[in-house]
Every structure is written in C-alpha cells, then in structure tokens.
Amino acid sequence: MENLLFDIQPTKGHFSFVVAAAGGKILSSFESAPPPANAIRKNQTGTLKIRYWGDDNLYPQFLIDWVEKSPILAAKLPFQASALCSGGIIYGRKTKAGFQPEFDPEVETWIKSTNLKRFLPDFAVELVKFWNGFAELIPSADRSKIARIVAHDSAFCRISRNDLPEFRNKPQRVYISANWPEGDSEDSELTINREMIDEYGDRIEQIRSGKESAYMYRIMGPSSGRVDYGEPPWTAALKSKWLQYSLAIPEAKLAKITNGMMVFYHIEVPEDYWRAKYPDWDEKPELSQSRKKETLDEWIGQLTDKKNWGKAILTSYTQFMDGKTGKHISIKVLENPFTKGELIEDSFEASAQIYQAMMLDATLNGTIPGKQMGAGSGSDKREAWNLMMLAMKPIMDLILEPVQFCFDYNGWDYEVLMGNYYIATQDQVSPDKRNIGNPNPANPV
C-alpha cells in the first residue's frame, strides 16, 4: 500500500489539511472554515456561572412530576427509549453492497469494559424524556483513548452561561448537582463540573491537548428557537392541556365512586311483614331499626355474595278471595350508574393526543383506553415498529453520537448503528439474504 503523508497547518484561526502520497502527489486537501457562530441570549436568567433551566432552575423536576402522574408517560417514555436501543449496536463499514458489520476484538473489549449495555438505555431515556442528554467521557492516562463513557441524569445537569464577555470563546461547562431543588449553587462543595465538548469544533483535539480528567458531551434534541436546553416534543400534550385532561378523567370517576350514592336494590316490605315475623313488633318499637337492619343484612347477603350466584330467594304474599294480592315483599334491581362508560370516549381522545405528542404509534401499546380498546393485528404492530425504527433514525444517531465520537477518538474506523434500525432496513429483503441473524458475531451490545 502506498505511504501517505498528512500535514496540518494552522492559519489565523483556520487550518489546512493535506493528504499526499510519498511521491508528492496531492490526493486530498481542504482548508477549514472558521469556527461556527453560536447564538447568544442577552440577560439570561441564572447565577453568575450557570444558565437556569426554567425560571426557577427546576424545569426538569417539574417535568418529572408530570411524567410520574401519567400512566402513559411513565410507561411509554422508557418504552420508547428502550425500543430505540433494544437491538444494541452494530459497527462496520459501508460498501457498494451495503453496510457490512465487522468484528473487532479491541472494540469488543472496550464495549464490555465501559458497560455500554448500561450506557445506551440510561442515555436514551434521558434524551427522550428531557430532550437533553449528558454523557461523561473519561480519557485514559495518556489521553490516547476514551476509556469510559457514563450517562448522567439530565435533571442534575446545568450548562454555563455564555452571554458575558469573559465567558465567550471558551468551552462551556456543565455543572452537576442533585441538590438544585434545595437551592444548591455552582459553588457548592457538592457541585461538580466538567468541560463541555464543542460538538462543532475540533472535538478530538480538545481532549488530546486538554488537561482535564473528564469531559461532558451534551446532546440536545432538535429544538427550533431554543438556545440553551431542548424542549421534549411530549410537552406539547402538557401545554395543550391534553395531559391534564387525561388525568382529570380518573379523578372525576373516583370522585363519583367515592362521593356518589350507589344503590343497586330497592326492597319494598309491607308493614304487616314485620308484625308477622316479630309478634311483639308493636310493643317494642325501640327494636324496629335493629331488626330491620338484621333482616336487610340477611337479604343482601343472599343477593350479593359471589357464592350465591345462580341461587334464588323465597318470599311470601297474601291472596284474597277476590283474586287480588296484598302487599308483599318486592325486590327491584336498580340500574348500575357505572355501566354506561361515561368519559370513555374522552379518555380515548386524550390518550391519542398524548401518543401523538410522543411521536409513538398507539398500536404498539397493545390496547388503547376507550370503547374501541383496539390492539391492532400482529402485522399492524410489525409495520408500526419498523416505521418507528426507520423514522427515528436521526434520534438514534443523537443517542449514538457520543459513542461514535469514542470510536473516532480511539481510532476505530467504523460507523456505529443501532441494531434495530439495521434490522428494519432488511425487512424488505428475502429472509435467506438478510444479514440479521447475528449482526455482531461476538456479542451485540
């Protein structure tokens, strides 16, 4: 193979890059552009160093509270995150014949040692829930490799300000604390901070020539008009009140059950019955209430206990000589007020709106609250799953961006893909030609 010469020359904030063969023939070259411009907000709310996340710096905690109240969000945000990375990762190279998975012992060792199986779902759920993910990268002692990658709780992370002159043209920092709700500050002894990787700068050189022991790779989901923190799409259900509406429905039903009067039987008893049953009825009026209750409890026991299913009760009545009957015991079954399915249509509509805001096909849920309670067929679920895997490719790439950077930094010339996306691309290929049986022969993450 022909020897190649590489030459990098910095020039007034630019640098030129030249690849030449040993004989001097230039094979490739380009001159870099200046660093990209970063939008800067004036009069940012916050302390001297950190940019508040929300007016009170507790917006993530506010979102967590709403997620924990909603059965849909509490279950389906982790489901969505898990679905994106449940197939693990595969790595390989693009060829004319398509993507070719590879097996590299050094990569496999790194995957195991850094516990990438744990990182992927942890980082994915933070990005899906908050639209902001924070991955800590720890270089080796000689800075030749990224030795570890760790996902942080987004709710604990705050970025530094960049609006004051002394903070411009410098790498931003990420401040990490579990005590923001208690009024913690960036100067607290319990608050740690990391230099943030400039995702549009020379990321590798930032670490290679740096002196810090760890760095933070921040990922922000696409959010037009947002400078500091991304806004998760599902919050549209909160801002449009559909989330609150969905939570008000069970509260209304519970209030009806708790406070409403539920009477299922109306039993009419003629006054003469009591005199026949209790000969001293008129002489002991003080016992009338307890005797009625005793009799009613006996009848209710026969009417309601599941052990009495299919049984009958016996009552008597009087018939006169003219054929007419006297007053007798009558048991009427009243209409159950909870069999009409009130608010079911409203529940279905609210749930559909929440799924829409989550970018999640409700078919994947199995059943949807409402009269239809539709689960969809197996083929519907498969199509919905494959469509989600294909449509969410940009989000998968965001989840994998810190991992892909680790590959690039460590000198592994592979492209990293989510396994589920790769499988979805093979769906239209005949089974005998699919390369999905075991994309990564060693042990896919």
Angle at alpha carbon of residue 270, lines to 269 and 274, rounded to 5°: 85
- For residue range 237-289, what is the model confidence (pLDDT) as tens digits? 999 999 998 888 888 877 777 766 566 778 888 888 888 889 998 899 899 89
pLDDT at residue number 155: 96
Q: Are strands 26-31 and 215-220 parallel, antiparallel or unpaired?
A: unpaired
**Chain Cα centroid distance, residue 15:** 42
| Banded pLDDT at 315 (limits 50, 70, 90) | low
Average pLDDT, the chain: 79
| Banded pLDDT at 348 (limits 50, 70, 90) | confident
Structure tokens at 238: 């909160």
| Banded pLDDT at 320 (limits 50, 70, 90) | low
How far, in Å, CA of 131 to CA of 60, rounded? 10
How far, in Å, CA of 330 to CA of 265, rounded? 10
The residues with which 39 forms a beta bridge, in sequence order, are none
Structure tokens at 18: 């030249």
pLDDT at residue number 169: 73
Which run of H or of E encompasses 408? helix 393-409
Q: Which of 40, 36, 91 is nearest to 202 (CA)?
A: 36
pLDDT at residue number 159: 93
- Of the listed ranges 97-106, 150-159, 396-405, the one predicted with least confidence: 97-106
- For residue range 92-101, what is the model confidence (pLDDT) as tens digits? 998 888 889 9
Which run of H or of E encompasses 101? strand 98-101
Q: Which of 112, 110, 111, 89 is nearest to 101 (CA)?
A: 89
pLDDT at residue number 422: 76
DSSP three-state, residue 218: strand
Q: What would the mean pLDDT of 25-49 be, rounded to a whole number?
A: 56
Query: Given a cut of 50, is residue 434 above it in pLDDT?
Result: no
Query: Given a cut of 70, is residue 325 above it in pLDDT?
Result: no
Taking only Cα atoms into account, the Rg of the chain, rounded to an integer number of angstroms, comes to: 34
- For residue range 173-201, what is the model confidence (pLDDT) as tens digits? 999 999 988 877 788 888 999 999 998 88
How far, in Å, CA of 231 to CA of 243, rounded? 16
CB 421 within 8 A of CB 389: yes
Per-position DSSP letters for 371-406, written without gaps between them:
SS-----HHHHHHHHHHHHHHTHHHHHHHHHHHHHH
Which percentage of the chain shows pLDDT scores above 90? 37
Residue type, 178: A
CB 152 within 8 A of CB 180: no
pLDDT at residue number 12: 42
Q: Which residue has the higher pLDDT, 1 or 119?
A: 119
Q: What would the mean pLDDT of 16-28 be, rounded to a whole number?
A: 50
How far, in Å, CA of 160 to CA of 48, rounded? 9
Q: Which of 270, 375, 253, 252 is nearest to 330 (CA)?
A: 270
Spell out the alpha helix ranges (H) of 278-343: 288-304
Q: What would the mean pLDDT of 306-328 be, rounded to a whole number?
A: 58
pLDDT at residue number 438: 43
- For residue range 416-433, what is the model confidence (pLDDT) as tens digits? 999 888 777 765 544 444
DSSP three-state, residue 146: strand
Q: Provide the 8-state DSSP code for 95.
A: E
Length of the chain: 445
- For residue range 215-235, what is the model confidence (pLDDT) as tens digits? 999 999 998 888 889 999 999
The residues with which 86 forms a beta bridge, in sequence order, are none
pLDDT at residue number 27: 45
- For residue range 67-88, what is the model confidence (pLDDT) as tens digits? 999 988 998 899 999 988 888 8
Query: Given a cut of 70, is residue 370 above it in pLDDT?
Result: no
Query: Given a cut of 70, is residue 26 above it in pLDDT?
Result: no
Maximum separation of any 2 CA atoms in the chain, in Å: 130
Q: Which residue has the higher pLDDT, 59 or 40?
A: 59
Residue type, 436: I
The packing angle between helices 242-259 and 344-357, to 10°, is 150
The residues with which 175 forms a beta bridge, in sequence order, are 158, 193
Q: Which residue has the higher pLDDT, 257 or 66?
A: 66
How far, in Å, CA of 50 to CA of 176, rounded? 11
Parse the chain into domains and list their residue ranges: 1-34, 44-244+370-433, 263-333
Cβ atoms within 10 Å of 301's Cβ, excluding its own = 11
Q: Provide the 8-state DSSP code for 30.
A: E
Structure tokens at 54: 């929300």
pLDDT at residue number 223: 86
CB 33 within 8 A of CB 26: no
* Backbone phi and psi for residue 284, each to the nearest 5 degrees, phi listed first: -125, 70
- For residue range 113-143, what is the model confidence (pLDDT) as tens digits? 999 999 999 999 999 999 999 999 999 999 9
Structure tokens at 188: 């607290």
Spell out the alpha helix ranges (H) of 7-132: 59-69, 71-85, 105-113, 116-130
Structure tokens at 67: 């997620």
Place of tokens 């009806």: 256
